[in-house]
Amino acid sequence: MSTAYDEATEGKVYSVNGADWDEVVTGVRDSEEERLVVNMGPQHPSTHGVLRLVLTLDGETVTEARSVIGYLHTGIEKNMEFRTWTQGSTFVTRMDYLSPIFNETAYCMGVEKLLGITDRVPERAQAIRVMMMELNRISSHLVAMGTFGMELGATTPFLFGYRDRELVMDLFEYITGLRMNHAYVRPGGVSVDLPAGTVDKVGEFLKEMPKRIKDIRKLLDENPVYVRRTKDVGYLDLTGCMALGITGPILRAAGLPWDLRKTQPYCGYETYEFDVATERGCDVYSRYLVRMQEMEESLKIIEQALDRIAGPLKGEPVMIEDKKIGWPAQLALGPDGFGNSPDHIAHIMGTSMEALIHHFKLVTEGFRVPAGQAYASIESPKGELGAHVVSDGGTRPYRVHFREPSFCNLQGFPAMAEGGQVADVIAAVASIDPVMGGVDR
C-alpha cells in the first residue's frame, strides 16, 4: 500500500495492519533498498504506552533508533499555574501515574522549601510519607517487571506482577481512598491520618510480600529464556549513563551506588536502615536484579516506618501546626462513605469564627508562598525526580517544572538499542521502565 507522494519523499511505504505481511515480504524481496525503516507505535502493546519508535533496520540489526514522544502531553505544568499551591498536588499525582506518591512528595517538598517549613513538617507525616513511598516503589517495580515479562512473551510474570500490585493498591485505597491519583501528600504534611487498622493491614502485607517477590524471582532469576533475552542486552555503561544524565536502577545496574535516599537524604531517610542495590552488568538483566533487590529493601524500610508510626509517633499530628498553611482536612467517614468530621464542622460553624475564616481563606484563596525558586529532588522508582518550583509571592505557582526520570532515561534508548537485534529493542525499552504520563506530562 503506497502513494506517489510517499514514494517521492520517503521511498516505498508499507502500512502493516496485521495478516498482510506477505505483501511486505514480496515487496521488500524485489526492492533494491538495503534499509528498512519500521515505525513502531505510538499504539503498540510493547511500547509501554503511547511511545513511538522509529527503527532503521539492516536485516535484523537496528542501525538507527529514535523515539518520538509527546503523544500524552497534557499541559500539567501550565495548568498548575492557574490553581492554588495545594491543588497542585492533584495535578502532579497524575504525571507518572505509577508512582503518584513520589510526584506529590517531590512537589510538596519543593513548596515546603519555598515556604521555609521543611523542618516543621511533623515527624509522623514524614514517616507516613516514607511508608507510602516505599509501598509505591514496590507497586511501580511490580508493574515494571510484570509488563517486562509480558513484552518478552511470558504472561505469568505479568499476572504475578499485577496480582501482587493489587495488594499495594488495596492498601492505598484503604489509606487514601483512591487506588491511584491520591493527592494524599500535601504541602505541610499528608491530607489525613492513617485510618484505624492500617498498621495491621500493612503488617499482613509485610508478611505476604516476601513470598510473592520470591515467586517472581523463581520464575525469572534463572529462567534460561529470560536470561538469554536480557543478559548483555541493552548495554549502557556508567560513562553513557553519566553523559545522558541517567539515574535510578539503570545507573545502579552500571555499578554506581547513587541513591538520593542515601546521598542526599530527605524525609528522614538517614534514620532508616537499608542497602542500596547495585549490579555491574550494565544490561537489562542487571536492571531487573536491581529492581527486585530494591523491592526487598523497601520492605525493610516499610517495616521500620510502621514501627515508628505505631510506636513513638502514635497520635502525633500529620499536618503542620501552622493554621495559615495546614489544609483543614479533618475528615471522618460519614454514612455516605466520605465527608468532613462533625467535630470540625461544629468547631468552625459553632464556636470559632477564626477557625471558620481560616478554613474559608485556605480553601478558596490558598496560602501565599514567598517569592523565589527552589529545587527538591527525591529518588523515585525510575531515578531522580526533581521539582523546580518558582513563586512570585502569590497563591498560585508561578512555574513548576518536573525533572522526570522517565523523560531523561528514555533519551538513553538509542544508545542501548542501536547495533543490537530488533527483538532486543523491546527488552531495552522495557528495562528503562518509561511511563509516558511522566515523560510527556
Site for other proteins in 111-130 (CB under 8 A): 113-114, 116
Shortest distance, CB of residue 37 to other proteins, whole angstroms? 17
Taking CB under 8 A as the rule, does residue 78 contact other proteins? yes
The candidate with the shortest Cα–Cα distance to 416, out of 405, 426, 404, is 426
Task: Name the one range near other proteins by CB under 8 A: 21-29, 143-151, 405-413, 417-425.
Answer: 405-413
Shortest distance, CB of residue 280 to other proteins, whole angstroms? 17
Taking CB under 8 A as the rule, does residue 393 contact other proteins? yes
Taking CB under 8 A as the rule, does residue 373 contact other proteins? yes
State the DSSP code for 348. Answer: I
Q: Cell numbers of 94, please?
A: 497524575
The strand pairing partners of 265, in sequence order, are: none
The answer to whether 166 touches 174, Cβ cutoff 8 Å, is no
Residues 44-73, mask of contacts with other proteins (x by CB under 8 A): -------------------------xx--x
One DSSP character per residue, 174-206 reads HHHS-SS----EETTEESSPPPTTHHHHHHHHH
Q: Which residue is associated with the grid cell 553519566?
A: 242
Q: b/e map of 30-56 (b: 16 or more CB within 10 Å)?
A: eeeeeebeeebbbeeebbbbbbbbebe
Task: Name the one range near other proteins by CB under 8 A: 57-65, 229-237, 244-252, 326-334.
Answer: 244-252
Provide φ and ψ at 102, rounded to 5°.
-65, -45
Taking CB under 8 A as the rule, does residue 360 contact other proteins? no
Taking CB under 8 A as the rule, does residue 189 contact other proteins? no
Taking CB under 8 A as the rule, does residue 379 contact other proteins? no
Query: Cα–Cα distance between 15 and 70 in angstroms, integer?
Result: 22
Taking CB under 8 A as the rule, does residue 96 contact other proteins? no
Query: Cα–Cα distance between 323 and 164 in angstroms, integer?
Result: 40
Sign of CA dihedral 105, 107, 111, 114: positive
Which position among 44, 52, 83, 358 is part of the footprint of other proteins (CB under 8 A)?
A: 83
State the DSSP code for 12. Answer: S
Sign of CA dihedral 289, 294, 300, 303: negative
Beta strands in 86-243 (DSSP E): 185-186, 189-190
Query: Cα–Cα distance between 288 and 231 in angstroms, integer?
Result: 10
Which position among 77, 164, 193, 283 is part of the footprint of other proteins (CB under 8 A)?
A: 77
- The residue among 124 and 396 lying less far from other proteins, judged by its C-beta, is 396
Query: Cα–Cα distance between 163 and 394 in angstroms, integer?
Result: 45
Position 237, amino acid: D
Shortest distance, CB of residue 245 to other proteins, whole angstroms? 3
Burial class (CB in 10 A: 0-12, 13-18, 19+), 364: exposed
Which position among 375, 418, 419, 421 is part of the footprint of other proteins (CB under 8 A)?
A: 375
Taking CB under 8 A as the rule, does residue 252 contact other proteins? no
Query: Cα–Cα distance between 279 and 259 in angstroms, integer?
Result: 13
Which position among 3, 8, 22, 82 is part of the footprint of other proteins (CB under 8 A)?
A: 82
- The residue among 11 and 70 lying less far from other proteins, judged by its C-beta, is 70
- The residue among 17 and 364 lying less far from other proteins, judged by its C-beta, is 364
Taking CB under 8 A as the rule, does residue 368 contact other proteins? yes
Taking CB under 8 A as the rule, does residue 392 contact other proteins? yes
- The residue among 76 and 309 lying less far from other proteins, judged by its C-beta, is 76
Taking CB under 8 A as the rule, does residue 16 contact other proteins? no
Site for other proteins in 293-352 (CB under 8 A): none
Taking CB under 8 A as the rule, does residue 42 contact other proteins? no
Task: Name the one range near other proteins by CB under 8 A: 136-144, 155-163, 216-224, 383-391.
Answer: 383-391
Residues that bind other proteins (CB under 8 A): 69-70, 73, 75, 77-79, 81-83, 113-114, 116, 242-247, 256, 258, 263-264, 365-366, 368, 371-375, 377, 384, 386, 388, 390, 392-396, 398-399, 401, 403, 407-408, 411, 440-441
